Structure 1
Amino acid sequence: MDFQLTVDQRALKTGMRELLAARFDRDALRAAVGRPGLDRALWRALGEAGFFSLRLPEDEGGVGLGLPEAVLLFEEAGRALLPGPLVATHLAAGAVKGAATGEAVVTRVDGGLVGWLAQADHVQGDASGAAPLRSVDPLTPLHRIPGTRTATDPEAVLLAAAEQLGSAARVTEMAVQHAKERVQFGQPVGAFQAVKHLCADMLVRTELARAAVYAAAVTGEAEEIAGAKLLADEAAVRGARDCLQVHGGMGFTWEADVHLHLKRAWVRAEQWQSAEQACEALAAALQAPPGS
């Protein structure tokens, strides 16, 4: 059985990376940090590229692809730290007018949170009584919803896991790059065993999460998606923390991008399905009678 990406899937992934490199590079990321708010032109460009309509049938104006391909696009979005309610708008394509083309921004009540509430054209779920919440991520405005709500949409959980995977891969690359370039005591810091171990652990966690996320995209099983989210959250959060350690004191400063990945990873870890919810889903699946 071949689990490698197809030529078309690789081309899709490469095309999205090139689009984001052109439309949301590091300068654009930094500008977005200093200027809160959604870039509507970029949102429409994503719509034109088929980001939101990817899984709509072709006779409905979509691309006609599946969940595995959507995972690849969201992985690239996570890698670039692309802001906005991407998951909610993607899932609303075909159901909310303008969502598929990027003309409408859709957000959705997620557990006890809702992101980008003030900038959204359409809100799915009950957001009554929403109160502004100071977000650790400067690119993700949040509101808290009173009461207890549970997010149960497996596809939303998987797409969030894919974003975490992209972020984990990116911070691994950043750590390795810095370890090669930063010189201490006459040699690159990557020559030191402690730094080597940090980078190796980051790579292992990322590739383990990648295998889980890609597999869950194929099966679509809720318990496999829960496991993928757990692994992707760990890879993103611990990877960003380890990357920060490799950068040393500079990693804590605004001039480094490491802290932005860490803050986004913290927020995503609580979105759609928290670690506690994922563990409960896995435990319930393990305790279920065979064949149930």
Structure 2
Amino acid sequence: MDFRLTEDQEALRRGFRELLARRFPRERLRAAVDHAAPGGTGVDRALWRDLGEAGLFALRLPEEGEGADSACGGVGLGLPEAVLLFEEAGRALLPGPLVATHLAVTHLARTGRGAGARVDAGAGVGVIEAAARGEAVVTALDGRGAGDGNAGLVEHLPSADAVLVVGDDGDGRGEGGPGAGVDAGVDVDPDVDVKPDVDVRIVAVGEFGAGGRGVPDEQGGGEGEEDGEDGEDGAEAVGLRSVDPATPLHRVALAPWRTVSDGRGGGDSGATGGSSRCGAVVRREAALLTAAQQLGSASCTVAAAVRYAGEREQFGQPIGAFQAVKHLCARMLVRAEVARSAVYAAAVTGDAYDIAAAKLLADDAAVRNARDCLQVHGGMGFTWEADVHLHLKRAWVRSRQWRSAAEAEELLADNLVDRRMSRQKAPSAECPNDSAQFG
């Protein structure tokens, strides 16, 4: 089998990289970071629309005229192509809830229940259709582990028009069962009632606040609020100080909220949702696309380290000529390529365990490569002017999103135990009776 990228895939990746180079060069990144407010940078709406026009968010929807969701202007590609684009986004440190918006468009448009959701009463534009065009920003809340009075983290909440809430599927390790690699979003019956704690839904941002007060000021919140306590106004969304200046974070409690009206009667009964199976698929794909972003960051830090090692001279020669620096760069390359193989393979199989392994390897490659890149840069690497710390901080944030290393390790360990137990229970073939055969 030939696992090399096709000419179309190479052209797609090259075109998206050129788009980011034009619309989000290093100068734009540094300007956003250097002038960031204490709560972090907001989403650049003009850039977001450019991404929508390029097809990033509607990449996996059928092309116009090929399905019920054609109104969203789909491109008709698959998960492997999405991984390639999100890898480029990670390489450029492109900010914003890219994964959440892409998955909201992909899965809620396919269920046929997202197209009527409204951004506001006067706009008359469906939030999913708007998100597909890059005219709406959708962030996400992973509901697993964020219920029972606990709180989850949401990125770019003040800049978002809606929140994609992925409910708890009730089984922390059951994502690898039958149909785990199937795109469940197309199989959801929109007329089937869904438990409120196991579906995927779009929620109005204004609902994340007590008494309809909305999202608190990003700069608000004292030490008690950062520990997960409610603010003085009783708000359920509390701004946190993010380690990444380009990724503002809020801690959100899963208190009672209403979904955005979907045109079927409104209210809680009109939830824009899917099913628990769709929720498991959304969570897996979110982990995979986040891993692709980590892969892009890991590859970028390899290139940055090698480039600096060839430019910086010490004792009359480039520092890349010294064995210690060579070994650092070589280990960085190995980590990135191993992660690349795992991420690309998981994009093809869609298997829960493959995705868990890909996320584990990509997180490790992104964090450790950023650290080694900083080491290669020496004292320069610790300065604010260098971009190395931006990759390290973004890698730290992404490593906690959708599936942490501990969760991935537990899932993979459970799979190994289950496979071992199944082999032990399987009947073993009897050895031939030598005395009877040769006697």
The residue number in structure 1 matching 2:30 is 30
Q: Name the amino acid aligned to 1:31.
A: A
The residue number in structure 2 matching 1:43 is 48
Counterpart secondary structure, 2:135: coil
Alignment pair present for 1:130 and 2:237: yes
Which of the pair is proportionally richer in helix?
A: 1
Which consecutive segments of 4 or more residues in structure 1 shift more than 4 A? Answer: none
User: What is the 5 A alignment of 1:42-121?
Assistant: 42-59=47-64, 60=70, 61-93=73-105, 94=109, 95=114, 96-110=128-142, 112-121=152-161
Q: Name the amino acid aligned to 2:309.
A: A
User: For 1:178 and 1:164, how far apart are their aligned partners in 2?
Assistant: 21
Q: TM-score, normalised by structure 1?
A: 0.95
The residue number in structure 1 matching 2:361 is 231
User: What is the 5 A alignment of 1:79-228?
Assistant: 79-93=91-105, 94=109, 95=114, 96-110=128-142, 112-125=152-165, 127=208, 129-146=236-253, 153-228=283-358
User: For 1:145 and 1:246, how far apart are their aligned partners in 2?
Assistant: 39
Deviation at residue 145 of structure 1 after TM alignment? 3.0
Alignment pair present for 1:241 and 2:371: yes
User: For 2:418 and 2:155, how far apart are their aligned partners in 1?
Assistant: 34
Alignment pair present for 1:10 and 2:10: yes
Q: Name the amino acid aligned to 1:140.
A: T
Counterpart secondary structure, 2:239: strand
The residue number in structure 2 matching 1:274 is 404
User: For 1:92 and 1:99, how far apart are their aligned partners in 2?
Assistant: 8
The residue number in structure 2 matching 1:265 is 395
User: For 1:73 and 1:285, how far apart are their aligned partners in 2?
Assistant: 30
Deviation at residue 132 of structure 1 after TM alignment? 1.2
Deviation at residue 288 of structure 1 after TM alignment? 2.3
The residue number in structure 1 matching 2:180 is none
Q: Cα deviation per residue 1:84-119 (whole Å; 9 max; x = unaligned)? A: 000000001133231111000000103621100111
Name the % identity: 69
The change in CA–CA distance for 1:133 and 1:243 in structure 2 (over 3 A counts) is same
User: For 1:160 and 1:97, how far apart are their aligned partners in 2?
Assistant: 23
The residue number in structure 1 matching 2:384 is 254
Let me know the Cα RMSD of the aligned residues.
1.5
Q: TM-score, normalised by structure 2?
A: 0.64
Deviation at residue 37 of structure 1 after TM alignment? 1.4
Counterpart secondary structure, 2:129: coil
Counterpart secondary structure, 1:190: helix
Deviation at residue 146 of structure 1 after TM alignment? 4.2
Q: Name the amino acid aligned to 2:237.
A: A
User: For 1:282 and 1:119, how far apart are their aligned partners in 2?
Assistant: 36
Q: Cα deviation per residue 1:123-150 (whole Å; 9 max; x = unaligned)? A: 1227562221110000000012348xxx
Q: Name the amino acid aligned to 2:101.
A: T
Question: What residue ranges of structure 1 are gaps of 5+ in the alignment?
Answer: none
User: For 2:47 and 2:343, how far apart are their aligned partners in 1?
Assistant: 27
User: For 2:382 and 2:252, how far apart are their aligned partners in 1?
Assistant: 31
Q: More displaced, 225-234 or 90-99? A: 90-99
